[in-house]
Amino acid sequence: MISLGINYGSHESSVAIVKEGKLVFAAAEERYTRIKQDSAFPVNAIKAAFMELDIDAQEVDVVSLSWPLKGDALLHDAKLFVTGGFGRTRSRAKKLAAQLLSSLNAQKKFQNLYRSFFPPPQNGFVFADHHAAHALSTFCLAEQEASVCVVFDGRGTTEATTIWKFENGHPRKLFERSFPDSIGVLYANATRLLGFRPLSDEWKVMGLAAYGRPNVDLDEFVLKRGWETTFAGRHFLPANDNEPSGFERRFAEYGRKGDGEIAQPHMDFAASVQRVCEEAMISYVAHSVALAGTADVCLAGGVALNCKANGEILRLPFVKSLVVQPAAGDDGTAIGAAFAGSIKFGVPFRRDPSFTPYLGTSYGDDEIESVLKRAKVRYERPENFVEDVATCLAADRLVGWFQGRMEFGPRALGHRSILASPIKVENRDRVNEAVKFREIWRPFAPAVMHEHGARYFQDYRMSPYMILSFWASEHARLVVPAVVHADGSCRVQSVTADNNPLFHSLLDSFSKRTGVHVLMNTSFNLKGEPIVESPLDALRTFYSSGLDVLAIGPFVVRK
Ligand SMILES: [Fe+2]
């Protein structure tokens, strides 16, 4: 049974394949089209999946979209319109009517679109519940079978935040808080107000928050309902598109144009938004633990990319384990959709202890070498490849690292990474100058040998996906200052000989030269571009940036 899951129709289109109940491929369309967060139909990612897995399009049994019928969402919007949740303007009414009309045959349109590229799937199409797809995407890597999952989204169909338990082969919804009372919508409003792109640049607000004090009072927008802390959504929806919301009007003094200077009040505002976001997330996690009777928690949904908040949740005394899907945003729903399709046709869903985020395309040594030859690049194939690269890193060279199957999700996890020594704080500025062009909100993350994690990070636990933050230990502040963020937090990737053998041996080799078991790991891309996918992307980025060394497959290219 081959089940193809697709996220299409919102942003960051993506694809996943579940074969005989096992997740075997996942990738986002942006990596192939080189358009960041590409929302086009993911035809290139589907073709790449078939090629990687050596599958013929005819063999696909079911195609599953991670969005259900649009009717429910539009009825919900109509209700909001009538009850004053949305501003009752003529243009809003027109837009709703147009959306309603176009939604009538949306599923048919999707099926036709798929058929225009590929033969129809043998068992047909499934339209999965969006939040259930988020939940399935993280249940598949849960530590315990009986985990509870909280999905924090801007909005799914009608829902903003949901709580799930996996029972009798299906995810069961235990709680729903509907849009627009949504943590994601609050964060998107703050992102836009601070001059960034909403539904894309929320991580910049989180990064800026580390430089600020949470001294802006947001209480008038916080809703407390018993155990629940959430946000009064009607203040976040503008009467018309492209107008400021009530929230944005109220805090206009913190507004900033895209290229405007970032001053202390902007950072303080970001810190205040981050704090209320954490309070709200913690209220839902506490409730989910009580509701499901388990202390093993999973998170998904775009808001769960907030690694600072995730770190706070990890340290709650009533949380035993915390697992966050590394592709927590809508891209990850392709995984859940693929599982939903396979469950529907009788393949039981199983948690997969061997889950890996390295689910994308890969290139053989011959393919890589032919790209290097074609480009007439001088390269070597060192006998002691790992030692050679570790020596470069120990000498403060900036290394582009391209190995194996591409990671799924927004973080580079040591397969498409830029690596540098974390020992000198100037190395952070050097990476910024070389590729990221001085983005002060960008914290550079540490990849650490798991067996040495506790020396560098307080309350350290296994964190393989760089989606949990820890406080740096005194030792880390002294020894690896380049990967400690302004507030002392670190977004950690734990590397083991099992989860990433080559990267682990590189860390080991680096530690033998320097006594330090940590490398700085950031994504292999130029500012504003998607992470590199192919050897050619890697070569282009290498020669367009200030990187010193490219370690690609078994080959090394030096400038
Ligand atoms: Fe979502």
* 79 and 189 assigned to the same domain: no
* 227 and 272 assigned to the same domain: yes
Alpha helices, H only, 259-330: 264-292, 307-314
Name 100's Cβ contacts closer than 8 Å, sequence gap at least 6. 74, 78
Say whether pLDDT at 237 is over 90: no
Q: Is 350 part of any domain?
A: no
* 212 and 287 assigned to the same domain: yes
Q: What 3-state class would DSSP assign to 182?
A: coil
Please tell me the least confidently modeled range out of 86-90, 292-296, 459-463. Answer: 86-90
* Residue-level pLDDT at 88: 66
Q: How far is the CA of 59 from the centre of ligand 1 (A)?
A: 29
* 209 and 81 assigned to the same domain: no
Say whether pLDDT at 438 is over 70: no
Q: What is the mean pLDDT of residues 479-495?
A: 95
Q: Is 416 part of any domain?
A: yes
Say if residues 372 and 379 touch (Cβ distance below 8 Å): yes
Say if residues 216 and 269 touch (Cβ distance below 8 Å): yes
Q: What is the DSSP letter of 434?
A: I
Say whether pLDDT at 544 is over 70: yes
Strand intervals (E) in 385-450:
399-402, 416-420, 445-449
Q: How far is the CA of 218 from the centre of ligand 1 (A)?
A: 25
Q: How far is the CA of 151 from the centre of ligand 1 (A)?
A: 8
Nearest-angstrom CA–CA distance, 557 and 399: 10
Range of the domain at 22: 2-141+328-344
* Residue-level pLDDT at 216: 96
To which residue do tokens 């940590």 refer? 518
Q: How far is the CA of 180 from the centre of ligand 1 (A)?
A: 14
* 215 and 307 assigned to the same domain: yes
Q: How far is the CA of 280 from the centre of ligand 1 (A)?
A: 18
Q: What is the mean pLDDT of residues 12-17?
A: 97
* 128 and 203 assigned to the same domain: no
Q: Is 436 part of any domain?
A: yes
Q: Considering its fold, how many domains does the chain have in total?
A: 3
* 186 and 64 assigned to the same domain: no
* 250 and 283 assigned to the same domain: yes
pLDDT in tens, 98-123: 777 777 778 889 999 999 999 999 99
Say if residues 244 and 256 touch (Cβ distance below 8 Å): no
pLDDT in tens, 133-148: 999 999 999 988 889 9
Q: Is 302 part of any domain?
A: yes
Q: Is 73 part of any domain?
A: yes
Nearest-angstrom CA–CA distance, 153 and 134: 9
Say if residues 400 and 549 touch (Cβ distance below 8 Å): yes
Closest CA to 349 of 16, 5, 21, 1: 21
* 468 and 426 assigned to the same domain: yes
N-term to C-term CA, the chain: 48
Q: Is 119 part of any domain?
A: yes
* 123 and 223 assigned to the same domain: no
Q: What is the mean pLDDT of residues 411-427?
A: 96
Q: How far is the CA of 329 from the centre of ligand 1 (A)?
A: 6
Helix (H) or strand (E) holding 557: strand 555-558
CATH number at residue 397: 3.90.870.20
How many degrees, rounded to 5, is the angle at CA 95 between CA 93 and CA 100?
95
Name 95's Cβ contacts closer than 8 Å, sequence gap at least 6. 241
Say whether pLDDT at 436 is over 90: no
* 370 and 508 assigned to the same domain: yes
CATH number at residue 50: 3.30.420.40
Q: What 3-state class would DSSP assign to 126?
A: strand
Q: Among residues 293, 324, 355, which one ends one of the domains?
A: 324
Q: Is 375 part of any domain?
A: yes
Over the chain, what is the mean pLDDT? 93
Q: What 3-state class would DSSP assign to 379?
A: strand
Q: Among residues 344, 375, 391, which one ends one of the domains?
A: 344
Q: Is 167 part of any domain?
A: no
Q: How far is the CA of 179 from the centre of ligand 1 (A)?
A: 12
Q: Among residues 344, 373, 390, which one ends one of the domains?
A: 344
pLDDT in tens, 440-477: 777 899 999 999 999 999 999 999 999 999 999 999 99
Q: What 3-state class would DSSP assign to 244?
A: coil
Name 431's Cβ contacts closer than 8 Å, sequence gap at least 6. 398, 418, 420, 444, 520, 522
Nearest-angstrom CA–CA distance, 41 and 29: 8
Q: How far is the CA of 157 from the centre of ligand 1 (A)?
A: 9
Using a pLDDT cut of 70, give the percent of the chain over it: 99
Q: How far is the CA of 449 from the centre of ligand 1 (A)?
A: 32
Using a pLDDT cut of 90, give the percent of the chain over it: 79
* 386 and 317 assigned to the same domain: no
Helix 71-82 × helix 90-103 angle, to 10°: 160
Q: How far is the CA of 110 from the centre of ligand 1 (A)?
A: 18
Q: How far is the CA of 173 from the centre of ligand 1 (A)?
A: 15
